[in-house]
Amino acid sequence: MRIHLTSVVVDDQRKALRFYTEKLGFRVKHNIPMGEHAWITVVSTEAPEGTELLLEPDGHPAVRPFKAALMEDGIPSASFAVDDVKAEHDRLVGKGVRFVQPPTDLGTVVTAVFDDTCGSLIQITEEKQQGGT
Amino acid sequence: MGHVDIYRAIADPTRRAILDELADRSGQSLFELRARLVMKHGIDSSRQAVSQHLDVLETAGLVRTRREGRSKLHWLVGAPLKAIGERWPVSTDEDTPHSSDEDIEK
């Protein structure tokens, strides 16, 4: 069994598509119109055959209060791996991305959290090298 | 909001760790604070427990919350701690045998 698809629920699919491609640098894998909404997935350019991220519409009435509660506590909806959190933070800030948590060294990992402008927070994580190996 | 609240607030090691982390960076979400507590202090308290600790600190005037965007962030307010230094001021000619701080619990 493999994890082939995961999703982040967005308040506006077109806005999300722009953010996740133009700001984050992901590539569109599928963009299939489905009535009012579309089946939109993006992939990392570093792993185009890897896990797809579905930009999922937030039509269900339970979604908004759930997302609002996560946002209030600062809880990210997804976490992406990067080689260098600080460099990625600087690159994204340069593109106008708003970080709610700057790069923070937590011992074994460095993390930072930004606002995806579509109602969710996203964490980026760098696993620190454990000395020796 | 009297001084008693400050002493009670800082009597708890988890609340002291919260103040340590807010001193490191003010304006943290509950998520960030909990991540720091577990990763840096080994304190794996529940959301509700940390939330209650923050309520105590806020009542004592040591923490202030503010909404930024749609998130609730926590800020350290150090001013009330001045009352402690004013109540027991450090004299300049202290020569007590136990003036080092090695016995003080973190």
Task: Please name the residues between 75 and 104 in chain A that touch chain B, using a CB distance below 8 Å.
Answer: 75-76, 98, 100-102, 104
A69 touches chain B (CB under 8 A): no
User: What value does the mean pLDDT take over residues B23-39?
Assistant: 96
C-alpha B101: how far from chain center:
19
Give the mutation candidate from B22, B28, B30, B32 for the A interface (greatest A CB count, under 10 A): B32
Distance from the first to the final alpha carbon of chain A: 29
Q: How many CA atoms lie within 13 A of B56 on its CB side?
A: 19
Which residue on chain A is closest to B74 by alpha carbon? A73
- Structure tokens given for A133: 């190996």
Tens of pLDDT, residues A86-110: 999 999 999 999 999 999 999 999 9
CA dihedral B21, B22, B26, B31 (to 10 degrees): 70
Q: What gap in Å lies between CA A13 and CA A38, rounded to an integer?
A: 8
Statement: residue A6 has pLDDT above 70: yes
Q: Is residue A48 part of a domain?
A: yes
pLDDT of residue B96 exceeding 70, the answer is: no
**Is residue A104 in some structural domain?**
yes
CA torsion through residues A95, A122, A118, A19, sign? positive
**CATH (domain of A11):** 3.10.180.10
Size of interface A-B (CB pairs under 8 A): 52
> Does residue B3 come out as left (phi exceeding 0), alpha (psi in the -120 to 50 range) or beta?
alpha
pLDDT at A129: 81
* Chain A residue with the nearest C-alpha to that of B39: A106
Q: What is the pLDDT of residues B33-82, one digit of tens each?
A: 999 999 999 999 999 999 999 999 999 999 999 998 899 999 999 999 88
**Structural domain boundaries, residue A104:** 5-127
In a domain? residue A132: no
Q: Which residues of A touch B46 (CB under 8 A)?
A: none
Cβ–Cβ contact A111 with B under 8 A? yes
Q: Give me the domains of chain B, ranges plus CATH numbers.
A: 3-78 (1.10.10.10)
Count how many domains chain A has: 1
Buried-exposed string B46-56: b where 16+ CB fall within 10 A, e elsewhere: eeeebeebbeb
User: Which of B25, B28, B71 is opposite residue A72, by nearest beta carbon?
Assistant: B71
| Mean pLDDT score across all residues of chain B | 87
Which letter does DSSP use for residue B80 in this model? Answer: G
Of A119, A82, A122, A78, give the one whose Cα is nearest residue A101: A122
